Structure 1
Amino acid sequence: MGRHRFFSALPFNKTCVFSSPSTSVRRPSTSATTVKFPRTIGAIDCTHVKIQSPGGELSEAFRNRKGWFSLNVQTISSANLKVLNVVARWAGSVHDQTIFQNSSVRQEFEQVWYGQYILVGDSGYANTSYLATPYTANNPDIANNQRMQVYQSLIIRTRNVVASIRSTKTSFPRIGLRHAHEH
């Protein structure tokens, strides 16, 4: 569902309740959760976890855009702060969209495992039928369009759960990686 078709489903001034659709280990449990954005099963984002240089020929792939070595870790979190999915195998230079494109969760959404439920993400992800993203900050149409403003507000407030989860990353220890041939 694109943003345009979504507008007709916006619950102006309401809070939606959803129950997750399955009992699979990889999917959320069947508990009702209150969220601001309709049909939301979770919020997705990536965060950089600092590592020591792994050394070797591929070490520069782990250097992120801020100049330090990291893993780019994707998390999907529910509205009640449960971490539903973690992908922690990508070098710091890899873009969030690439990690999602190569994830099993994206494949599951493509195969409609989650029915009409969706994820919310930031503007670093492509907007799709199963991943709702905000408009870019420089979109001139937002200022004059109430539906766009409500969409933007709801998606940002729903995504705040990921910010809560990510704020705990400061408690992660620095991860030391060693060359594969070292023991």
Structure 2
Amino acid sequence: MEPISILAPEHQAGEYINCKGYFSIVLQALVDHKVRFTNINMGWQGKVHDACIFRNSGLFQKLQEGTLFPDQKIIVGDVEMPICILGDPAYPLMPWLMKPYTGSLDSSQELFNYRLSKCRMVVECSFGCLKACWRSLLTPLDISESNIPTVITACCVLHNTCESKG
């Protein structure tokens, strides 16, 4: 999850204030290994928890039903594994979602968290590239709130096009 800063004058300020104390609308995204957005969920108020947004998304529904990656497996070494997505600690642990261990950890759990964190860096890179290319996303958007999801979606599509073309 990555918040995009906005101004929302027609709503109560509290609805859109995120945990960092500024106005935002949430862009929650699934990215692939090539730094491209494969699924986005746009428009929730900044104060809404990531796990709540995720559980109410079409992506969650498809993953729960097993229709997003039906019968797809990958081979790691000589082990066949189902496809899964990687999340941060805010997300629920699911058969198709890996997240880091929390609390007091032994050395194998710390190693797992380290490796998972390295794999998740592609997500941070995706959002970093999106904001670097479309620098207007770094400041409050001076547009109608109703247009924000369309603008952010367009930026994600253009980002994917740029990434695909090199």
| Structure with the largest fraction of helix | 2
* Aligned residue in 1 for 2:86: 120
User: Equivalent residues in 2 for 1:95-174 (5 A)?
Assistant: 95-113=49-67, 114=69, 115=71, 116-136=82-102, 139-142=103-106, 145-146=107-108, 148-167=109-128, 168-169=130-131, 171-173=135-137, 174=140
Unaligned runs of 5+ in 1: 1-45
User: For the residues of structure 1 that align with 2:145 and 2:36, how far apart are their CA atoms?
Assistant: 34
Q: CA RMSD in A?
A: 1.9
Identity among equivalent pairs (%): 23
Equivalent pairs, count:
129
User: Equivalent residues in 2 for 1:14-163 (5 A)?
Assistant: 46-56=1-11, 58-113=12-67, 114=69, 115=71, 116-136=82-102, 139-142=103-106, 145-146=107-108, 148-163=109-124
Displaced runs of 4 or more, over 6 A: none
Q: Do the aligned residues in 2 keep the contact of 1:119 with 1:132 (CA within 8 Å)?
A: yes
TM-score calculated relative to the size of structure 2: 0.70
TM-score calculated relative to the size of structure 1: 0.64
Deviation of 1:88 (Å): 1.0
CA deviation digits over 1:62-92, x for unaligned, max 9?
1112221101110111111111011111000
Q: Which amino acid aligns with 2:32?
A: S
User: For the residues of structure 2 that align with 1:94 and 1:111, how far apart are their CA atoms?
Assistant: 24
CA deviation digits over 1:95-139, x for unaligned, max 9?
111111011011001111114311101001111111110012xx2
Unaligned runs of 5+ in 2: 72-81, 147-166
Deviation of 1:155 (Å): 1.0
